[in-house]
Amino acid sequence: MTNVVALNHVSLLVSDTASALDFYQGLLGLDVDESRPETGFPGAWLVVGAAQIHLLEIPAALTQAALPEHGGRDRHFALDVVDLGAVEAALVAAGIPYTFSRSGRRALFCRDPDGNAVELVETSVS
């Protein structure tokens, strides 16, 4: 039996919080949790259901290594979405490349402005 009961948050390194927020808040529609304490560096906390994504602006820590074209072959996290078609349309309108999941699920992979791979999986709302 496991003692792990839920995902609390995922932290992502970003080079520019404003650009990352354009993607996560502007494009994906996530809300910012304004209760983020002063941490000594820029960033933001984003609400994803009961969990969060923490954006950590640490430009010196980022390096652009060669990334696989398909995000499913890279480190990534997945978000459930209700309408994958709407996400696809938003990505096309923003000029953000994506690939569809190779698993057969209704899902796609894209990258945020810093190259972090994001999987978006269509799910039904109960």
- Give the pLDDT confidence score for residue 126 in this predicted structure: 62
- Give the pLDDT confidence score for residue 5 in this predicted structure: 78
Out of 51-55, 71-75, 81-85, which region has the weakest mean confidence (pLDDT)? 71-75
Q: Is residue 62 predicted with pLDDT exceeding 80?
A: no
Chain Cα centroid distance, residue 54: 10
**Which structural domain range is residue 116 located in?**
71-122
φ/ψ of 49, rounded to 5, equals 60, -125
Total length of the chain: 126
Out of 41-45, 69-73, 79-83, 110-114, which region has the weakest mean confidence (pLDDT)? 69-73
The number of distinct structural domains making up the chain is 2
Tokens 């919080």, located at residue: 17
Asked whether residue 3 is assigned to any structural domain, the reply reads no
- Give the pLDDT confidence score for residue 73 in this predicted structure: 77
- Give the pLDDT confidence score for residue 94 in this predicted structure: 97
- Give the pLDDT confidence score for residue 20 in this predicted structure: 96
Tokens 């994803």, located at residue: 48
Asked whether residue 77 is assigned to any structural domain, the reply reads yes
3-state class (DSSP) for residue 33 = coil
In the DSSP assignment, the letter for residue 68 is P
> CA–CA distance from 74 to each of 18, 21, 35, 69, 116 (Å)?
24, 22, 31, 9, 9
> Residue 48 is part of a domain; what is its CATH number?
3.10.180.10
